[in-house]
Amino acid sequence: MYIFMKIIIFLIVFCSLSLVSSHPQSYNAIFSFGDSLADTGNFLLSGAMTFPVIGKLPYGETFFKHATGRCSNGRLVIDFFGIKAENGVNFATAGATAIAAEYFYSKNIKILWTNISLTHQLGWFQEVKSNICATKKDCREYFKKSLFIVGEIGGNDYNYPSFLGGSIKQLKALVPLVVETIIEATSVLIEEGAVELIVPGNFPIGCSAVFLTIFGTTNKEAYDKHGCLKAYNAFSKYHNAKLKLGIENLRKEYPHAKIIYADYYGAAKRLIHSPKHYGFSNTLVACCGGGGPYNFNNSARCGHIGSKACLDASSFTNWDGIHLTEAAYHHIAKGLLNGPFISPSLTFPPINQI
């Protein structure tokens, strides 16, 4: 475990951020925490034993032309941010949960992909810190002008029990602890000197091919007019509402900090509401998969034998049934940075339109 941590800390730095040192309007650094929505290679570097296919094509086929460890055909939201910073460290790890793995094991919920949680990522941050700044005062000065992105995280805390057939009632019971863990991590960072932080909410999971496949039903009432599972989208909204409440409280506790909520739900939902407007012809069916009504087949997931990728991933929002395509992430990043899905706005937004 120790060696594994060292590898992650010292080798993984953003390679995709625009690194501009001369521009005065930039952050000192960006520190990113989260799961597969923001992982630019950590999980693959750790071996990705439980999801090895992210290390080969068609993962990465569109933009990089080779697999990078990103759970998509190309770039992620964070790659599109184009926010100027002199430095960046990404701790996000695919499969990571907010709550510690031990909790899930104690409830007999099998962790499917990794035991890494937000707490581990905070631990790596502490280690990195010693390489960045020497004294507490130096660190606070440095972090004051850095941007911290805490998430998206928590999605897997709900995915794991759901994939085992857990009910929405069970998921709801997890929300207070998931939200508390995210809020606690955010306050730890503020105590370290972070002043500007983005805390994203969760996606509309009721529109996700994996949820549509597992919880598909002949009851038409279960679906909204866009074909998404109402109850699961309502659950995502429930988590997001609780997270926003937690953020409100943090803002009161730390009035000097700028805690930004990123509405991933809204930014993703509009692609499903008006697909044509964004150039999509498929919003619920995965581009890469092994058959079934949503092209998600757990026995032949994207990258495994029996699966194949669609010809034009840019017309799909869903990449592998679980993660989104580069095209979807691009539009989501635009929605966040050019508005209206981020509030309040960033101190140093990207100079060029993304």
Ligand X SMILES: *[C@@H]1O[C@H](CO)[C@@H](O)[C@H](O)[C@H]1NC(C)=O
Residue of 204, 290, 321, 335 that binds ligand X (CB under 6 A) = 290
Distance of CA 290 to the CA centre of its chain: 24
> What's at 229, amino acid-wise?
L
Contact partners, residue 134, CB within 8 Å, separation at least 6: none
> What's at 52, amino acid-wise?
P
Q: Are 210 and 163 in contact (CB under 8 A)?
A: yes
Question: 112-171: which residues touch ligand X (CB under 6 A)?
Answer: 113-115
**Residue 255 Cα distances to 17, 188, 248, angstroms:** 29, 15, 10
Q: Does the protein bind ligand X through residue 300 (CB under 6 A)?
A: yes
| Minimum separation from the CB atom of position 86 to ligand X (A) | 34
Contact flags string 96-115 toward ligand X, x per CB under 6 A: -----x---------x-xxx
> Of 39, 146, 320, 330, which is the active-site residue?
320
Neighbours of 133 (CB within 10 A): 17
Which tokens in the block code for residue 59?
A: 């993962």
Q: Does the protein bind ligand X through residue 50 (CB under 6 A)?
A: yes
| Minimum separation from the CB atom of position 102 to ligand X (A) | 8
Q: Does the protein bind ligand X through residue 47 (CB under 6 A)?
A: no
Which range touches ligand X (CB under 6 A), out of 234-242, 287-295, 328-336, 339-347?
A: 287-295
Residue of 297, 317, 318, 325 that binds ligand X (CB under 6 A) = 297
Helical H runs in 88-208? 101-106, 118-132, 136-144, 155-163, 168-192
Residue 36 bears catalytic tag? yes
Residue of 299, 338, 343, 347 that binds ligand X (CB under 6 A) = 299
| Minimum separation from the CB atom of position 332 to ligand X (A) | 28
**SS3 state of residue 161:** helix
Q: Does the protein bind ligand X through residue 306 (CB under 6 A)?
A: yes
| Minimum separation from the CB atom of position 306 to ligand X (A) | 3
| Minimum separation from the CB atom of position 183 to ligand X (A) | 25
For the beta sheet containing 196-200, the strands, ordered from the edge strand earlier in sequence to the opposite edge, are 85-90, 27-33, 147-150, 196-200, 258-262, 342-343
Residue of 47, 52, 279, 291 that binds ligand X (CB under 6 A) = 291
| Minimum separation from the CB atom of position 49 to ligand X (A) | 7
Which range touches ligand X (CB under 6 A), out of 59-67, 124-132, 243-251, 292-300?
A: 292-300
Compare residues 55 and 290 and give the one whose CB is closer to ligand X: 290
Residue of 292, 303, 321, 335 that binds ligand X (CB under 6 A) = 292
Pairing type for strands 258-262 and 342-343 reads antiparallel
Which range touches ligand X (CB under 6 A), out of 25-33, 53-61, 272-280, 288-296?
A: 288-296
The residue of the chain with the least Cβ separation from ligand X equals 291
Nearest Cα neighbor of 214 from 168, 266, 176, 271 is: 168
Using CB atoms within 10 Å of the CB of residue 22, give its burial: 0 to 12 exposed, 13 to 18 middle, 19+ buried: exposed
Which tokens in the block code for residue 129?
A: 């810190």
Instruction: Give the 3-state DSSP-derived string for 113-140, with helices as H, strands as E and coil as C.
Output: CCCCEHHHHHHHHHHHHHHHCCCHHHHH
> Of 117, 146, 236, 323, which is the active-site residue?
323
User: What angle, rounded to 10 degrees, do the helices at 118-132 and 136-144 form?
Assistant: 110
Q: Does the protein bind ligand X through residue 303 (CB under 6 A)?
A: no
Nearest Cα neighbor of 116 from 36, 205, 16 is: 36
Compare residues 275 and 289 and give the one whose CB is closer to ligand X: 289
> Of 36, 46, 236, 307, which is the active-site residue?
36
Residue 323 bears catalytic tag? yes
The footprint of ligand X (CB under 6 A) covers: 50, 101, 111, 113-115, 290-292, 297, 299-300, 306
**Which sequence positions are flagged as catalytic?**
36, 320, 323
